Amino acid sequence: MEKVNRISMAVIRRLPKYYRYLGELLDKDINRISSQELSNITGFTASQIRQDLNNFGGFGQQGYGYNVEELHKQLGKILGLERTYKAVLVGAGNLGQAVANYKGFEDAGFKLLALFDKNPKLIGLKIRDIEIFDVDHMENFINDNGVEIGIITTPKEQAQGVADKFIKSNIKGIWNFAPTDLKVPENVVVENVHLNESLFILSYMFKEKNRK
Amino acid sequence: MEKVNRISMAVIRRLPKYYRYLGELLDKDINRISSQELSNITGFTASQIRQDLNNFGGFGQQGYGYNVEELHKQLGKILGLERTYKAVLVGAGNLGQAVANYKGFEDAGFKLLALFDKNPKLIGLKIRDIEIFDVDHMENFINDNGVEIGIITTPKEQAQGVADKFIKSNIKGIWNFAPTDLKVPENVVVENVHLNESLFILSYMFKEKNRK
DNA sequence: TAGATTGTTAATCGATTAACAATC
DNA sequence: TAGATTGTTAATCGATTAACAATC
């Protein structure tokens, strides 16, 4: 076992933001940035930015700051964006189709190989060249193609069942849009997109801000 | 100004989960629950659950626990779910249409009145009875109808411009799906759904878990 | 070299957990 | 009444901020 000084989720969740802002700086041909300037842009404190980055290594240089291109590249590596992931999606309704059309997939190295649904009306259709298959064929497909990532955009009632099939087929990462918490073994990671919770929080914040 | 003991975002973000699990208990006709049982279900510690709830009032009863229906109702009130919000959405592409079709809207009391886009091919179409209008008519529509919530599902390049129009039209809450951080005045709340960041985090966790 | 800015340690702040008296 | 479980205070833990020596 390698020395893995466990990095807190609070830090991890800031990394994509750093990565995004660095990408924007790159586009503007800015090639050098200090933690203070990054602080101005991102809203995180300079101290926090330096702490965060130093969890992964000393990417900066005293008296100079950080090289934007280099730091962007390193963060990409840390986030695992240098490789590709084979993915499938289950639940090819509105949300599933929107996710399948999602342009950001490529940026993260995700390659969507197939969609699955149980609705006969959807089976055979294609979303930007990706075919919708009968969900009964899913486990074979995953095994045959070495799929590693599963995306769940089904109603919540089906979500755990789909996750169980994923797990049986040796999928190791799940992007879950169903409004439920999946039970998975310790070696499988789940990232949730809970739109209902997000809306509730918007509702809460709106109410708090707008009270007399 | 009312006494508002500022409640931390960490607490707020757990409330929708409590609300959801309590709803599920209600469906199962369970009408009494202790913080310990809730802990077993939600994964939060009993102590944390009691602390969280007591930010808003003493909903429990010593020796008994919590009344599920009552607590569910109270949490709904706290989250602002007892009232409705008039909303519009801008960017009626794939993601926008999926969001417009999103069933969870009603549960949170959001009433989607109109969609807007600049693509002439989309204008005039309807998504479950909600018409897509030319974005040029948006500000008038918002003012005429007293819209309070705006949803942004445009590409990131347009997002800040749309937000600015929202703000000018007196919208006070924004649900933002564009992969960018909006600049808004202090009295406007923004809740982000950053799918790209979510994917990056999945990628990171996957990589961490699956290294040799 | 002098100035700037990092990397890193120490101090502070806030959030979570533990403990237990209050009380149903 | 005895047992159970909350509400709440105190203790602990972790994350953020401040400070500054190291060094480019």
**Which candidate in B94, B177, B180, B183 is best for mutational testing of the A interface (most A CBs within 10 A)?**
B94
Please indicate whether, in this complex, the C-beta atoms of A13 and B109 are within 8 angstroms of each other.
no
Q: Is residue B193 part of a domain?
A: yes
Name the residue with the least CA to C1' distance from nucleotide D19: A47
Do residues A75 and A109 share a domain?
A: no
Q: Is residue B209 part of a domain?
A: no
Do residues B191 and B89 share a domain?
A: yes
Nucleotide nearest the Cα atom of B62 (by C1'): D6
Name the residue with the least CA to C1' distance from nucleotide C17: B47
List all residues 6 or more positions away from B141 whose beta carbon is below 8 Å from its beta carbon: B88, B113, B114, B116, B133, B147
Nucleotide nearest the Cα atom of A9 (by C1'): D15
- Judging contacts by C-beta atoms under 8 Å, the chain A residues touching residue B115 are none
Which CATH number goes with the domain that contains B178? 3.40.50.720
Do residues A90 and A193 share a domain?
A: yes
Q: What is the distance in angstroms measured between the alpha-carbon CA of A32 and the sugar C1' of D24?
A: 14
Please indicate whether, in this complex, the C-beta atoms of B197 and A172 are within 8 angstroms of each other.
no
Do residues A118 and A162 share a domain?
A: yes
| Dist CA B95 CA A169 (whole Å) | 29
Q: B31 with B68: CB under 8 angstroms? A: yes
Q: Is the pLDDT of residue B88 over 50?
A: yes
Do residues A34 and A105 share a domain?
A: no
Report pLDDT for B1.
36
Do residues A70 and A90 share a domain?
A: no
Report pLDDT for A5.
61
Q: Is residue A3 part of a domain?
A: no
Domain count, chain A: 2
**Which candidate in B6, B18, B197 is best for mutational testing of the A interface (most A CBs within 10 A)?**
B197
Report pLDDT for A7.
94
Q: Is residue A118 part of a domain?
A: yes
| Dist CA B95 CA B117 (whole Å) | 12
- Judging contacts by C-beta atoms under 8 Å, the chain A residues touching residue B199 are 104-105, 108, 110, 175, 191
Do residues A130 and A179 share a domain?
A: yes
Do residues A141 and A191 share a domain?
A: yes
Residue ranges for chain A with pLDDT beneath 70: 1-5, 212
pLDDT digits (tens, 9 = 90+) for B94-121: 999 999 999 888 889 999 999 999 999 9
Do residues B89 and B192 share a domain?
A: yes
Q: Is residue B156 part of a domain?
A: yes
Q: Is residue A63 part of a domain?
A: yes
Do residues A135 and A158 share a domain?
A: yes
Q: Is residue B212 part of a domain?
A: no
Q: What is the distance in angstroms measured between the alpha-carbon CA of A10 and the sugar C1' of D15?
A: 8
Do residues B100 and B188 share a domain?
A: yes
Q: What is the distance in angstroms measured between the alpha-carbon CA of B51 and the sugar C1' of D9?
A: 12
Residue where a domain stops, chosen among B78, B95, B116: B78
Q: Is residue B73 part of a domain?
A: yes
Name the residue with the least CA to C1' distance from nucleotide C6: A62
- Judging contacts by C-beta atoms under 8 Å, the chain A residues touching residue B2 are 211
Domain that holds residue B151: 85-197
Report pLDDT for B167.
98
Give the residue-averaged pLDDT of B42-70: 97
Mean pLDDT of chain A: 95
Q: Find, among B35, B76, B40, B81, the residue nearest to B56 by Cα.
A: B76
